Structure formats: structure tokens, C-alpha cells
């Protein structure tokens, strides 16, 4: 049980005052029963006044472009902000300033140590049976090739399973080419299947004697802009150069291989590792009117990959969560508890910010009422998952019902908190996940094409409305959400 | 009047034999009247047997992937083939070999002198009010910046008209940024409006004291891949560096300028000019069964820009025209006259091949019955334009009628021959233009994204069918098409 949920609270005077001036349907009195630490079956989890406040907030968010203009400012005035890069520090300053401009309180940064990898330049050329230059980028963390490059015959494999079945003598001294293609899907499920070769492809190929790998970009587009992304190194891994090539270039390479002739690649990469450096989580709040120490966390990550402007990933999340807090801060009635926006440092290259926040705030896990994260771009909201005790599900369903006009269905009590807020879920903090349509997101993800023009202002507004409503209701929900159940 | 059209010809015995075995609707005898030098009103321009042969050819083309596989081979085995580059010479060898493989006759190359410009590298960075790196490419023919680059404040102008209205003191020592955006249209009409700044933007800005220009890419996409293309230098022009930036980067630059603060750019470009060099037009034929000296020309250009694979521009044209000839060569009945495929050298950077062909073959203009060119990618055929004497329009309408099931309407007697075959039109040679849907073409045109994966095999087949039918009927049309009327 959470510290919060076990504490009895009185019905706040301000709510009574509010109810007197708001037109609400049905009897008002029974709703007060919800303001008990343990809700009982059949008792509405929110008062009509609370729901009306949330409805008004939703409608205001749907006509407000604070989120879109915040994203414009971030992409124009900061741009790429990879962990440890000059843009990263500029982004932290930008976020502090922007939060203050939007009226958030307790705006501050909390230091985070981040790894520092420097991309350098890379090139990939087919040297035989034809001369072709491929559009390529280094995967995050790749080591360099020798300065003069390396050249070897290519061995195509679909995925890690196929790699494991191939005789090592065919791999020794060769460049492994992972050919598997990511499938487009509304739920983004193609990503988790395809991304395994980005995470472990180089390390597993190195174990079998390969001297480098190229992977078909983990992305659904057909642009000649390759997709970068982090690898998942493990202790004892041997490091070999690891590059991604664009989908059209992977098609070309597959066609050349299909001719039956040996295909040779020449690769160069000049990435390097530098000493770990400093970044920061940036935090701003709408203080709760009654229990300001208790917080609902709206999370997004401030860092981006270095190739684009990080517009959808995760400028959109930064903009959506910051705007949601701003709209809550301007609500007629601020919620009982604090709404805290946490813009995490370095999600992309090791979750440094989320891990640091979870470590530094572990002792306050009990005052974290609920966490949510926006990190799948600004696309149509479709579904809500929760991870709360069963007796809190009526509250979650009431929150979802407020988003039903925006197309959000309830999808189950199996939320993860996603990458950053997932670190809070691991502390037992309840979380919600808002599913959005991921069909297009992986066209831009981790490429130079992740720019402001790809973002639809109407979808930013819709996301802001969802998170503002969820956060307002969660922060105003008398009994809170207890502790999250283990497992999924 | 053309030499051809004034010569009487006998009805060929083979046609008579053919008519005996082909089922044709209606009476056969009157159709023979069309085989006269001057068609008279009301006389069908083609015999039923001719039309049936064309129909069979059309149907065979619609199920044959020679064109698509030819394009695969060109993009895979040659790739980029900019005039004077190593790929250009490889492309000439490839074309000779491919034409022979496809059974064309008299396959040969004819030397063409081409200019030789070497792209080098370029970069564009915003240095103030924010640090941003822009996706840029040099325009074809651009001079280099100083090795250390150049840096100056940006002056935005929409187009050449606006440039002319600006006080020169605002332009001196500045970088002019042409902001005008190309509009998407089925007829590609946005291109001719937008491309003027690519052609003359640098020269006109230089006259007014600017030290460099950047242009918003002449293209309809939103990818961070800038569009290159040639400029239109004139005698006395002063050369300044001229780069194109991608549409998303132009959006960024416009947003920064809208903030009202001075915006500064740093540019570097290392392009250089080398001595003119050799390339070649590549020619192959299906010899006519009766009058092999008389030719119908199917033109496309073999060269491409250097950034992509020249898949739509103009690998598609190369593939379509070569496949159309191959299909004609395999027809039950070869046409009376020769069908000649001419793959022109260096269309992109000065029409060298077309000008050389027109010069070298000027004395044979009279035996050129009709010319057509495919240089707008492989997209849905929509309309046919001709440029023939009025008394030949019934033949043109009969040719179009054979393409009506493929969606081709007749659009007027105002054809130009387009860029390359337009050089033949200038000699009085009749021409036809096949309009195709240009809505998407300028997403890829002159970018790294012009790759094989963007081409739809069904649309290649449909184009092959159109040109094969047009060429077969034109080459078999007894009276020919006279000389093209002047003007449009």
C-alpha cells in the first residue's frame, strides 16, 4: 500500500466551494464518498465537479498551440541535442527558460552524468560487383574502423537466429549484413522485433569472427537517410564497427547479393568515445493546492539523436508534457497534488536521466502518485493502459472515459511506463501508458528527417489534452493509486 | 512537306498476308486507302490489321517486365552516371551491352563532348541566432567558396521578381536565400515556375552584390535531401557559390528569419570545373521491314545527376524506351520503318547529347518520321500531345485511341519534344509528348532519393505499352507525318 493511499484526508473546502458554482449533472453528495482512502465498489471515483473541471481543461487544450509553439522553439533554437553534445547543454538552458516562461514553478535542473560518444564520419561503398556508395550512419556506440577503412566480403543474414545457425567459417573476416526489414504497424510492434539486431547484432557477429556489421535501418521509410540508435553492449563483448544503411541501400545490396557474385564492401568510420560528461534532468511543477509534496510525473526526454532535430523523438513529448502542465497551471482549479514535468537527460543512449532520477528520488517513491511518459511522437491517441491496484481501476476508467471523445479506449492494466518512467514503475510507482498511432513514427525515428515539419499541430493539441486531463484527474484523485502491482 | 510523305508506296505483300490470318472487325479493303501519301478526309489512317498488331503489342507489353528489369540492372550495376564521371562511361558500356542482349540491331555509340564539373563537398550552417546544420547540395556548376568558407547575413527573397525590387545596399556582401516553394501538380507545372531561381538566381543576385545564394530546393517533398540541378549561365555572368537546401531546412531558416533577429550562415563548397571530356549517345534499332533508312526516334537520357541512382530521372526513360523497342523487335510483324532508340548523353548539364545528335544527323532530318521522349519518370500515362501537320491528326488520334484503355487522352497539337527530342523538333521533325502524372516525380527528382525502390513495375509496363504502340503505328504509318508546323 502506498503512503498516500493509506492516509485519510478531509474533503477540501475549495472543492465544496467549487461545486457550488459549477453546474453538474446528478446528485452531488454521493461523489464525496470517493474522497476516501479506499474506494468502495459502486462509488464514483471522481465528483461531477472534478469531471467538469477535466472536461473544461480538455476543451481548452484542444484549441491551444502552446505545445506546438514549444516544439517550434525547441527545434528552431536548439535543434539536435545528443547527450554530451553542445546542443545538450543548450537544451537544458532552453528547457529551464521555457518552463519559467510558461509559468511552471520550482523550475530547476538536477545533474546527470552521461556517456559521451562522438559520431565522426562514416562511409560505405560497394566495391564489387559494381561501384555504389551507400547512405549509412554509425550506430550509437560504434567503434571506428582503421583510418584507412576496412574491406571484406559481405555475408547476408536475416536476423540473430539465422546468424546462430551459420557455420562460423563463413563469417570469419567477413562483414555481416542484417537484412531483416521492420514492418509498419499501428502499435509499433515491428520495432521491437527488428531492433534486436541493432542492439546485439554487432556483438553476436563479433563472437562468430565477423570484422564489422551493417544493418538494414530499423525504420519503415524508403528514404536514403539511415536510422541510427543505440546498441546494447554486455560485459565481455568484442567491439566491431556497426553501421546502418538506408532501406533503399539495403534493397540494392540484397539485389547485388541475389546475383550470386561475391559482394564486397569498403567501410570507414571515425566515431570515438570521450570521457563521461554532465547533463541534467530539467524539472518544473504546478504545485498542488493541498498536498504539494505528492506528485504526478509527466515525463519525456530532452535529449535527441544527433542527426535530426528530435522533433517527434522526443521534442513532441517535451512539448506535450510541458504544455499539459502549463494548461493545468492555468486551470480554474489547480489539482490537489503537484503535477511535475520531468524532462529526462539521455534517454537515447542509456537512460541516464531516468536512472539518476529514480536513484535520487527513491526515498520519495511513496509520494509519487502516478507516472506517465510521452515518447512516441505526436500522433493520434488510441488507447490507455494502466498499472494500478485493481481497486483503483474505476478511477482509471473514469479518466479514460474523459478521453473517449478523443478516440482513446481502455486497453488493460499492463502499462510499463515506457523507457524513462519505467524506471519509476520499477519502484512500485503506478503508471499509465497512452498508446498513439505508431504507423508513421518509424519513418522519421532516429534519422535526419525527424524535423518540425513532420509534426501536425492538431495532434499535438490532442496529446496535450489527453495528458492534461489524465494528470489533472490523477493529481486530484483523493485516494491516489496505491502501489503498482508487480509483473505485467 | 517531308521527303517521306511525298513518296508513294505500294501496299506491302506481308500486310496482305497478315490480314488474311488476323480477325479484324469490319471490311478490310477500305483500310488500304490509308496507304497513300496524302490521307484524305474520312479515310481511316490505319488498317484494321495495323491496329490489331498494335493492340496485340500493347497487351504483350502490359505483362512484360523487360523495362523494370532493365531499370533494375541500370540502377544496380551502374548507379549514378553524371556526365563526365566514371559512372557515365560505365553507363555507355552497360547500354551497348543491354541493347544487344535485348536483340536490338545496329547498336553503337556516337561520341559526345560533355562538360565536366566535380561536386566536391559542401556544408551550410546557421551560426546565429542558433547553431543549426542544414542539409545542402551544390547546384550543378556552382563555383567553390574560399577553402575556409564564407559567412554572411542572409537576405530572404521569394523569387527573381522580388530580388529585382530590393535595394542593392541590402544585398551587398550578403547571402541571398530564395524562399519560393514548388507547388505539387499533376502536370508538373510547379516546376517551371520554381526552377527559374535555380537557373538564374545566383547570377542575378551576383549582379546585385550578393556573395552567395542558397535556394529552397526545387522539389515537392519534405525530406532532408536537397535537390540539385543545373544553372543557366549567360555570357558575362559573375559566378558565386550556389547551394540548395532541403525543404525542412528552408522552413527552419524561414522560421529563424521570422524571429526578426539577423540570421547568419556559414557556407563551404569545394566544387570544381575540369576539362571537357568524352561521353556518347548510345543507339540501337529495330530495322524497318521496308524502309529501314526512315526512323521513328524513341529518346531518353542515359546520364543522371550524381546524388541518386537516376531511377526515375531518367533510368525509367532508358528502360521504357529500350523495352518498347525490344517488344517491337519481337512483334509478329516489324513495322515498315526503323524504330531507333537514342539514349542521349548529358541531358542534365547542357543537353550535349541531343545537340550533338541534332547536329550530326541534321542532313538526315528528312528521314526522321517522328520523335518521342520519356523523361518524367515511370508514372501513369494521361495524355498525348502531337506536333504534326493538320492532315496527319487523324493518324495521331488513331494512335491515341489505342492508348485510351490505358487512360491516355488526346491533349492537342502543341507537343515540344521535351528537352532532348526538342532538339529534333527544332529541325522540323514531328514529335509527340506523352504526359504522365507528375504529382510525385518532384519528390525524388535530382536527389539521393531517386532510387529503384521508388519505381512501380506496373507503371513501367504501362509506359512501355504506350511508347511501343505509338512507335509501331508511327513507323508503320504509310504516309508518315510530314514536317512539324512551326510554333506551338
Give the ipTM of the model, two decimals please: 0.90
| Total beta-carbon pairs less than 8 A apart between chain A and chain B | 84
Average pLDDT, chain A: 92
Q: Cis (ω within 30 of 0) for the bond into B385?
A: no
Q: Closest-CA residue in chain A for B258?
A: A76
3-state class of B376 per DSSP? Answer: coil
pLDDT at A234 over 60: yes
A207-219 average pLDDT score: 98
Q: Cis (ω within 30 of 0) for the bond into B314?
A: yes
| 8 Å CB contact of B449 and A248 | yes
As a whole number of angstroms, the distance between CA B218 and CA B159 comes to 12
Q: Cis (ω within 30 of 0) for the bond into B129?
A: yes
Q: Does any CB of chain B come closer than 8 Å to the CB of residue A71?
A: no
Cα-flanking dihedrals φ and ψ of residue B121, to 5°?
-120, 155
- Cβ atoms of B97 and B242 closer than 8 Å: no
**Residue A232 CB contacts under 8 Å (≥ 6 apart), including other chains:** A199, A200
The residue of A226, A249, A447, A448 whose CB has the most chain B CBs within 10 angstroms, and thus the best one to mutate to test that interface, is A448
The residue of A228, A252, A260, A456 whose CB has the most chain B CBs within 10 angstroms, and thus the best one to mutate to test that interface, is A252
Location of C-alpha cell 486507302: B33
- Give the residue among A144, A81, A114, A26 at the shortest CA–CA distance from A349: A114
In eight-state DSSP terms, residue A30 is G
Beta strands per DSSP E along A49-141: 105-118, 122-128, 132-134, 136-138
A132 chain-B contacts, CB cut-off 8 A: 76, 79
As a whole number of angstroms, the distance between CA B58 and CA B44 comes to 20
pLDDT of residue B486: 77
Q: Encode pLDDT of A392-408 as tens digits.
A: 999 999 999 999 999 99
Of B78, B224, B259, the CB nearest to A449: B224
- Cβ atoms of A416 and A426 closer than 8 Å: no
- pLDDT tens digit at each of 488 positions of chain B: 232 233 233 333 333 333 333 333 333 333 333 334 455 556 899 999 999 999 999 999 999 999 999 999 999 999 999 999 999 999 999 999 999 999 999 999 999 999 999 999 999 999 999 999 999 999 999 999 999 999 999 999 999 999 999 999 999 999 999 999 999 999 999 999 999 999 999 999 999 999 999 999 999 999 999 999 999 999 999 999 999 999 999 999 999 999 999 999 999 999 999 999 999 999 999 999 999 999 999 999 999 999 999 999 999 999 999 999 999 999 999 999 999 999 999 999 999 999 999 999 999 999 999 999 999 999 999 999 999 999 999 999 999 999 999 999 999 999 999 999 999 999 999 999 999 999 999 999 999 999 999 999 999 999 999 999 999 999 999 999 999 987 54
Q: Does any CB of chain A come closer than 8 Å to the CB of residue B225?
A: yes
Q: Closest-CA residue in chain B for A254?
A: B76
Instruction: Give the residue ranges of DSSP H helices in A102-227.
Output: 160-165, 189-194, 196-207
As a whole number of angstroms, the distance between CA B125 and CA B122 comes to 10
- Give the residue among A87, A89, A85 at the shortest CA–CA distance from A111: A89
A249-262 average pLDDT score: 97
Q: Does any CB of chain A come closer than 8 Å to the CB of residue B256?
A: yes
Question: Catalytic residues of B, which ones?
Answer: 347
pLDDT at A1 over 70: no
Q: Does any CB of chain A come closer than 8 Å to the CB of residue B141?
A: no
Q: In what order do the strands lie in the sheet with A381-387?
A: A105-118, A272-286, A337-344, A291-301, A368-373, A431-436, A381-387, A409-412
Q: Does any CB of chain A come closer than 8 Å to the CB of residue B243?
A: no
Q: Closest-CA residue in chain B for A247?
A: B453
| 8 Å CB contact of A255 and B131 | no
| 8 Å CB contact of A72 and B255 | yes
The residue of A88, A130, A308 whose CB has the most chain B CBs within 10 angstroms, and thus the best one to mutate to test that interface, is A130
CA of A132, closest CA in chain B: separation in Å? 7
Q: Closest-CA residue in chain B for A127?
A: B77
The pTM score is 0.91
- Cβ atoms of B181 and B209 closer than 8 Å: no
| 8 Å CB contact of A86 and B131 | yes
Of B76, B222, B223, the CB nearest to A255: B76
Q: Does any CB of chain B come closer than 8 Å to the CB of residue A82?
A: no
- Give the residue among B198, B88, B83 at the shortest CA–CA distance from B139: B198
- Give the residue among A305, A357, A417, A329 at the shortest CA–CA distance from A99: A329
pLDDT of residue B7: 28
Q: Does any CB of chain B come closer than 8 Å to the CB of residue A225?
A: yes
Of A255, A448, A453, the CB nearest to B251: A453
Bridge partners, B175 (sequence order): B154, B212
A74-85 average pLDDT score: 98
Cα-flanking dihedrals φ and ψ of residue B156, to 5°?
-80, 135
Q: Encode pLDDT of A353-389 as tens digits.
A: 999 999 999 999 999 999 999 999 999 999 999 999 9
C-alpha cell belonging to residue B316: 525509367
- Give the residue among A460, A423, A448, A271 at the shortest CA–CA distance from A345: A423
- Give the residue among A401, A344, A301, A357 at the shortest CA–CA distance from A45: A401
Q: How far is CA B381 from CA A397, B297, B378, B483, in A?
A: 54, 19, 9, 26
- Cβ atoms of A434 and A316 closer than 8 Å: no
CA of A94, closest CA in chain B: separation in Å? 12
Beta strands per DSSP E along B44-139: 105-118, 122-128, 132-134, 136-138
pLDDT of residue B31: 33
Q: Does any CB of chain A come closer than 8 Å to the CB of residue B407?
A: no
Bridge partners, B230 (sequence order): B140
pLDDT of residue A19: 32
A434-443 average pLDDT score: 98
| 8 Å CB contact of A223 and B222 | no
As a whole number of angstroms, the distance between CA A59 and CA B81 comes to 56
- Give the residue among A270, A388, A264, A325 at the shortest CA–CA distance from A4: A388
On the CB side of A310, how many CA atoms lie within 13 Å of its CA? 30
| 8 Å CB contact of B251 and A72 | no
A18-30 average pLDDT score: 33
Bridge partners, B214 (sequence order): B177, B243
Q: Encode pLDDT of B156-166 as tens digits.
A: 999 999 999 99
Count of other CB atoms within 10 angstroms of residue A84: 25
pLDDT of residue B25: 36
- Cβ atoms of B153 and B267 closer than 8 Å: no
| 8 Å CB contact of B225 and A224 | yes
- Cβ atoms of A168 and A160 closer than 8 Å: no
pLDDT of residue A486: 77
Q: How far apart are the first and last CA of chain A?
A: 18
Q: How far is CA A367 from CA A295, A297, A470, A471, B112, in A?
A: 6, 11, 17, 15, 79
CA of A441, closest CA in chain B: separation in Å? 14
- Give the residue among B337, B435, B459, B344 at the shortest CA–CA distance from B386: B435
A326-351 average pLDDT score: 97
Classify B173 in phi/psi space as left (phi over 0), alpha (psi -120 to 50) or beta. Answer: left
A223 chain-B contacts, CB cut-off 8 A: 223, 225, 449
pLDDT of residue A42: 66
- Cβ atoms of B139 and B215 closer than 8 Å: yes
More confident residue, B333 or A29: B333
| 8 Å CB contact of A449 and B255 | no
Q: Closest-CA residue in chain B for A72?
A: B255
Q: Give B23-30's long-range contacts (Cβ < 8 A, gap of 24+).
A: B23/B52, B24/B48, B24/B49, B24/B51, B24/B52
Strands A337-344 and A272-286: antiparallel
Choose the catalytic residue: A285, A294, A347, A348.
Answer: A347
Q: Encode pLDDT of B475-487 as tens digits.
A: 999 999 999 987 5
Classify B50 in phi/psi space as left (phi over 0), alpha (psi -120 to 50) or beta. Answer: alpha
Tell me which H or E stretch contains A77: helix A66-77
Q: Does any CB of chain A come closer than 8 Å to the CB of residue B261?
A: no
pLDDT of residue B376: 98
A315 chain-B contacts, CB cut-off 8 A: none
- The A residues from 330 to 369 touching B (CB cutoff 8 Å) are none
Q: Closest-CA residue in chain B for A135?
A: B448
Bridge partners, B126 (sequence order): B132, B265
Q: Does any CB of chain A come closer than 8 Å to the CB of residue B93?
A: no
More confident residue, A41 or B226: B226
A131 chain-B contacts, CB cut-off 8 A: 79, 86-87, 90
Q: Encode pLDDT of A154-179 as tens digits.
A: 999 999 999 999 999 999 999 999 99
Q: Does any CB of chain B come closer than 8 Å to the CB of residue A252?
A: yes
Q: Closest-CA residue in chain A for B250?
A: A453
As a whole number of angstroms, the distance between CA B48 and CA B438 comes to 34
- For every residue of A328-389, DSSP letters joined together read HHTSSS--SEEEEEEEES-STTT-HHHHHHHHHTGGGGGGEEEEEE--S-S--EEEEEEE--
- Give the residue among A328, A352, A366, A365 at the shortest CA–CA distance from A475: A328
Residue B40, Cβ density class (10 Å: 0-12 exposed, 13-18 middle, ≥19 buried) = exposed
Q: What percent of chain A has pLDDT over 90?
A: 90
C-alpha cell belonging to residue B145: 567558396
| 8 Å CB contact of A252 and B224 | no
Q: Cis (ω within 30 of 0) for the bond into A129?
A: yes
Amino acid at each position: 500500500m502506498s503512503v498516500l493511499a493509506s492516509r485519510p484526508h478531509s474533503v477540501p473546502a475549495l472543492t465544496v466551494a467549487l461545486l457550488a458554482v459549477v453546474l453538474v449533472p446528478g446528485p452531488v453528495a454521493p461523489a464525496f464518498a470517493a474522497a476516501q482512502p479506499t474506494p468502495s465498489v459502486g462509488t464514483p471515483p471522481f465528483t461531477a465537479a472534478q469531471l467538469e473541471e477535466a472536461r473544461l481543461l480538455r476543451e481548452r487544450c484542444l484549441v491551444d498551440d502552446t505545445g506546438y509553439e514549444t516544439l517550434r522553439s525547441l527545434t528552431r533554437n536548439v535543434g539536435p541535442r545528443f547527450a554530451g553534445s553542445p546542443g545538450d547543454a543548450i537544451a537544458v538552458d532552453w528547457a529551464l527558460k521555457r518552463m519559467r516562461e510558461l509559468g511552471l514553478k520550482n523550475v530547476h535542473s538536477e545533474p546527470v552524468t552521461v556517456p559521451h560518444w562522438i559520431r565522426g564520419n562514416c562511409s560505405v561503398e560497394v566495391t564489387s560487383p559494381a561501384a555504389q556508395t551507400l547512405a549509412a550512419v554509425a550506430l550509437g556506440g560504434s567503434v571506428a574502423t582503421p583510418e584507412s577503412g576496412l574491406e571484406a566480403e559481405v555475408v547476408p543474414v536475416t536476423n540473430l537466429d539465422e546468424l546462430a545457425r551459420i557455420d562460423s567459417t563463413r563469417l570469419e573476416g567477413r562483414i555481416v549484413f542484417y537484412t531483416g526489414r521492420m514492418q509498419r504497424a499501428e502499435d509499433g510492434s515491428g520495432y521491437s522485433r527488428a531492433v534486436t539486431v541493432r542492439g546485439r547484432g554487432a556483438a553476436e557477429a563479433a563472437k562468430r569472427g565477423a570484422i564489422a556489421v551493417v544493418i538494414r535501418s530499423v525504420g519503415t521509410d524508403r528514404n536514403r537517410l539511415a536510422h541510427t540508435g543505440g546498441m546494447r553492449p554486455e560485459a565481455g563483448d568484442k567491439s566491431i564497427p556497426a553501421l546502418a544503411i538506408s532501406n533503399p541501400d539495403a534493397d540494392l545490396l540484397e539485389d547485388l547479393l541475389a546475383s550470386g557474385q561475391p559482394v564486397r564492401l569498403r567501410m570507414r568510420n571515425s566515431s570515438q568515445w570521450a570521457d563521461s560528461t554532465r547533463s541534467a534532468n530539467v524539472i518544473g511543477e504546478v504545485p498542488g493546492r493541498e498536498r504539494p509534496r505528492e506528485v504526478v510525473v509527466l515525463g519525456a526526454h530532452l535529449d535527441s539523436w544527433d542527426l535530426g532535430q528530435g522533433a517527434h523523438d522526443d521534442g513532441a513529448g517535451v512539448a506535450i508534457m510541458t504544455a499539459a502542465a502549463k494548461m493545468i497551471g492555468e486551470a480554474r482549479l489547480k489539482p490537489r497534488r503537484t503535477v511535475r514535468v520531468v524532462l529526462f537527460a539521455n534517454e537515447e543512449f542509456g537512460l541516464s536521466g531516468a536512472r539518476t532520477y529514480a536513484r535520487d528520488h527513491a526515498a520519495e517513491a511513496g509520494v509519487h502518485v502516478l507516472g506517465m511518459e510521452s515518447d512516441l511522437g505526436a500522433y493520434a491517441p488510441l488507447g490507455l493502459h494502466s498499472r494500478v491496484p485493481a481497486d483503483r481501476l474505476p478511477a482509471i476508467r473514469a479518466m479514460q472515459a474523459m478521453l473517449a471523445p478523443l478516440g482513446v479506449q481502455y486497453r488493460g492494466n499492463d502499462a510499463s511506463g515506457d523507457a524513462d518512467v519505467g524506471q519509476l514503475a520499477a519502484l512500485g510507482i503506478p503508471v499509465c501508458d497512452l498508446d498513439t498511432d505508431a504507423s508513421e513514427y518509424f519513418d522519421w525515428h532516429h534519422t535526419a528527417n525527424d524535423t518540425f515539419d513532420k509534426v501536425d499541430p492538431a495532434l499535438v493539441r490532442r496529446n496535450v489534452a489527453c495528458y492534461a486531463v489524465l494528470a489533472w484527474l490523477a493529481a486530484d484523485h483523493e485516494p491516489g493509486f496505491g502501489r503498482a502491482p508487480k509483473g505485467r
